């Protein structure tokens, strides 16, 4: 019971990747879609890349490899591509998105578990 109260009290301080993604979409500059993400990585405009955990494996593996070579931060969204699309405010699935400018979001500074 005591640990439940502790978690409730500090829930506002736990970083939530979903909220930060939405804030980056609304206040910053992001690019959605596999081709656009690869283009942002290749021209070094991407500061971070977010991938859906349950997306297409071949595409995700390619993006992870290219991000590793370019030394770009990779964040994994624990959901499928439809959920990631919904968080971005889109009515379609999004396998990956690149953060060009984080805006008011703390997505580049946080460490997500």
Residue 109 lies in a domain: no
Asked if the structure places residue 61 within a domain, the reply is yes
Residues 47 and 102 sit within 8 Å (Cβ to Cβ): yes
Answer yes or no: is 113 within a domain: no
Element (H, E) at 68: helix 57-70
State pLDDT tens for residues 55-76.
778 888 999 999 999 999 999 9
Strands (E), the chain: 29-32, 48-54, 73-80, 96-101
Place of tokens 């969204």: 77
| CATH number of the domain within which 13 lies | 3.30.1330.30
Judge whether 25 lies within some domain: yes
Domain of 96 in residue numbering reads as 2-101
- Domain total of the chain: 1
Q: Name the helix (H) or strand (E) containing 106.
A: none
pLDDT in tens, 4-44: 444 455 455 556 888 899 999 999 999 999 999 999 999 99
Asked whether residue 110 is assigned to any structural domain, the reply reads: no
């Amino acid at each position: 019971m005591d640990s439940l109260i502790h978690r409730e009290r500090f829930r506002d301080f736990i970083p939530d990747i979903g909220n930060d993604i939405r804030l980056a979409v609304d206040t910053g500059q992001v690019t959605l879609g596999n081709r656009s993400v690869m283009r942002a990585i290749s021209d070094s405009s991407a500061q971070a890349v977010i991938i859906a955990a349950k997306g297409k494996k071949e595409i995700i593996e390619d993006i992870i490899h290219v991000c590793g070579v370019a030394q770009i931060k990779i964040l994994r969204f624990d959901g499928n591509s439809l959920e990631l699309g919904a968080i971005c405010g889109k009515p379609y699935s999004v396998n990956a998105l690149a953060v060009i400018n984080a805006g008011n979001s703390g997505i580049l500074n946080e460490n997500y578990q």
